[in-house]
Structure 1
Amino acid sequence: MFPRTLLCLAIASGSSAALADTVWLKNGDRLTGTIKLFDGGKLLLQTDYGGAITLDWNKVATLESDRELLVKQGDFIGERAKSLQRSEDGKVILANGEEPKMVELASIQQILKPKPVLEDFVWKGNVDLSFDYKRAEKDTDDYDVDFKTQARHGSWRHNAKGGYNREYQNKVETTDNWSAEYALDHFIDEQWFWQGRLEYKHDNVEDLRRQRTVGTGPGYQFWDNELGAFSLASLANRTDHQYANGGKENFYALSVKWDYNRYLVGKNFELFSSGEVGKPLAGVADYTLDAEVGLRYKVTDWASLNMKAQKDIVSGSEGEIDETRYTIGFGVGW
């Protein structure tokens, strides 16, 4: 009985080793684990001994995997590889059941696990919540919910975000607003893209009740990898304002949007900032600003704590706004 148990353990151990992905580095080191993603010059390897390890692609000599992976080279068309086989330094063999294909590592732009229907579909996002209950001379109840999500397929990227904020002081409503935005990016090459976006803001308390903005323009993706992302977009916009007294106005403006995040300390912390600053082409308003900056601490693979500062300014118009909010809360991410 005992020898048979040892035999079963040996077989199981050998099977586990065979199923592990292997990465050989140019310095002679060999790492085993599961290849999760390669994008933006960074290879993410999930290991049992060190968690998620991020490797510079230019330090990789070759690699192998028994799993089916989608390998993209230089364009937006991916090739399914039934497995990756070790080759000479700087190359890897794609095995597809036909004649094996040897490719240069330098030519590979992305490696990821194929998804059904949309093979190269990548979806990420987070939802942040914060609540503030204060009982003093002025009782304050403050609720804040924000979400942000992004989906990428081929040369298209979908971006959506929104938020809801409500506050009471001594049971009197002092803040009640929500916003939503959708932007669609079409990548012309690996870094340049064209964006079209639609944004709507609604406020039940301030004089400026509704803001609608439609815009389009070019953007540039400086980087987007496992360690973070940074992009800028320059847009030409039309904005419509509607006020509490029934008045309306519209104007055209130029704006610059940014979206930045950077993972720190082994991806336990995330520094992030996003926003938009705009200048109307007519004298309707001096300038507009809608921005946030924050820090997120990862408690588990999906849960996090966050601190944020948000600024919203509409200067020089009939319904001027100058609001700053600080929130601390928790969230979930994927």
Structure 2
Amino acid sequence: MRESNIQSIHEKPSRGSCGVYPFKFCTKLLCLVAVLLAFTVNPATADELFMKNGDLLQGKVISMSFGKLIFETSYAGKITIDWDQVDRLTTEAPVEVYLRDKKTIKGRAVATKEGQLVVQPEDGAPTEPIAMAQVKSLDLPKPPEKWEYHVQVAAGMNKRTGNTNKYTLNLDGTVTVHKYPHDIILYGEYNEETKKTERTEDNALGRLTYKRFISKKWYLFGQGLAQMDKFADLKLLAGAAAGPGYQVWNSREKNLSFSVGPGYVTEGYTKPMVNFDNKSYRNYFAGFGAMDFDMWFLKRFLQVFHHNDGLVDTQDTNNWRIITRTGVRIPLVLSFFTSLQFNYNWTNSPADGKEEFDQGIIFKLGWGQ
């Protein structure tokens, strides 16, 4: 009995026992699981281009316009391909397909017969086959619009003492808030000058503009304006206008827009004016017009800008005024810039004893982003 027990302890267990070769057995089991996972998990996918010469390219469709397809591959980066050389294509992610009949379809492009594609929307049935020649452009879906903010401030100051005692301060700032189709623009400026102890300039201007785009070019606008000028005897000019506008250019490189519409103006002065029937105020309906322009030159070395707006009394066309701001900006470092600006204001029917115009050339240092 004792010998039998000893022998059973030293007997070699069978090869199938997991207790003897646990490492080898578990290794084989893990390999089997890995193989099964390789067949069940989707492999890496890519867009496919079937070329007319029989080549097959794999990568990612970036965009297509003006007959040129931008295609990104892992081995050659972004390449440009003539669209008329593409027989058909398949995309794994949705794209925006713009057709020559001005229709837009969003969905996955699926290759079908030669020279055709089908667009499979995320919801709904696929389209009928579309001839490749009918595709005007392709683009990746744009991310949801977010509110964007742009702030720009500038200041100019000059102080002289001794035989000449003079102090000048010029400030202006713009805050732009954008989320298509909305634009909100707040602008303000302040100018003052003191010679010895006597103030010789004291004026301010503020403007709030709202634009609502109804297409890529056309918009509706509303604007509020406030202005004061102590040495023109103007306590406050307040006005509002609304109407249509047209955006000719809209990009980081150049912008040009025109606005026009009816408005209403109220003016208050420091004393009764003979020119205004011995009243210290006048109110009137007016026609309003404005232009905004800016453009970069010399590879963004220099930016030229111009703004002007005008008001014309609808009952007295001799009563009109124009405000213009024209200049150049040169970027420096860390979002700083320097500017040289010409300001010109014209009032065709000023207060008693006052000039029709005010003008000045101002050098400023600014910051914006």
Which bin holds the TM-score, normalised by the shorter protein?
0.5 to 0.7
Rate the CA distance shift 1:108–1:238 in 2: closer, same or farther, 3 A: farther
**Which consecutive residues of structure 2, in runs of 5 or more, have no partner in the other structure?**
1-61, 84-88, 95-105, 110-118, 120-134, 273-279
Instruction: Tell me the TM-score normalized by structure 1.
Output: 0.67
What displacement does 1:245 show? Answer: 1.2
Q: Greater RCO between the two (CA within 8 Å, min separation 6)?
A: 1
Counterparts of 1:244-259 in structure 2, within 5 Å, are 244-245=270-271, 247-259=280-292
Say whether residues 1:221 and 2:247 are aligned partners.
yes
1:76-132 deviation per Cα after TM superposition (whole angstroms, max 9, x unaligned) = xxxxxxxxx989656995837xx9735978365995x76xxxx33333241111111
Q: Determine the C-alpha separation between the residues in 1 that align with 2:91 and 2:253.
A: 27
Q: Determine the C-alpha separation between the residues in 1 that align with 2:240 and 2:90.
A: 46
Aligned partner of 2:306 among 273, 278, 300: 273
Q: Determine the C-alpha separation between the residues in 1 that align with 2:146 and 2:73.
A: 18
Task: Read off the aligned partner of 1:218 and give its amino acid letter.
Answer: P
What displacement does 1:138 show? Answer: 3.9
Aligned to 1:332: 367
In structure 2, the residue corresponding to 1:205 is in which secondary structure? helix
Give aligned pairs, total.
257
Aligned to 2:70: 62
CA contact (8 A) 2:257 2:292 kept: yes
Aligned to 1:129: 155
Aligned partner of 1:106 among 137, 154, 157: 137
What displacement does 1:151 show? Answer: 2.0
What displacement does 1:235 show? Answer: 2.1
CA contact (8 A) 1:239 1:252 kept: yes
**Which consecutive residues of structure 1, in runs of 5 or more, have no partner in the other structure?**
1-34, 36-42, 44-56, 67-84
RMSD: 3.5
Instruction: Tell me the TM-score normalized by structure 2.
Output: 0.61
Task: Read off the aligned partner of 2:207 and give its amino acid letter.
Answer: E
Aligned to 1:14: none
Q: Determine the C-alpha separation between the residues in 2 that align with 1:167 and 1:63.
A: 60
Counterparts of 1:1-334 in structure 2, within 5 Å, are 58=66, 61-62=69-70, 95=93, 101-102=108-109, 106=137, 119-135=145-161, 137-245=163-271, 247-283=280-316, 285-318=318-351, 320=354, 321-334=356-369
What displacement does 1:264 show? Answer: 1.1
CA contact (8 A) 2:220 2:245 kept: yes
Aligned to 1:70: none
In structure 2, the residue corresponding to 1:244 is in which secondary structure? strand
Q: Determine the C-alpha separation between the residues in 1 that align with 2:90 and 2:188.
A: 43
Aligned to 1:29: none
Q: Looking at secondary structure, tell me which structure has more strand per residue.
A: 1
In structure 1, the residue corresponding to 2:174 is in which secondary structure? strand
Rate the CA distance shift 1:162–1:61 in 2: closer, same or farther, 3 A: same
Q: Determine the C-alpha separation between the residues in 1 that align with 2:208 and 2:265.
A: 15
What displacement does 1:150 show? Answer: 2.0
In structure 2, the residue corresponding to 1:106 is in which secondary structure? strand
What displacement does 1:63 show? Answer: 5.2
CA contact (8 A) 1:141 1:169 kept: yes
Rate the CA distance shift 1:167–1:108 in 2: closer, same or farther, 3 A: farther
Task: Read off the aligned partner of 1:62 and give its amino acid letter.
Answer: I
Rate the CA distance shift 1:108–1:220 in 2: closer, same or farther, 3 A: farther
1:302-334 deviation per Cα after TM superposition (whole angstroms, max 9, x unaligned) = 110100000111112435541101111110111
Q: Determine the C-alpha separation between the residues in 1 that align with 2:351 and 2:193.
A: 24
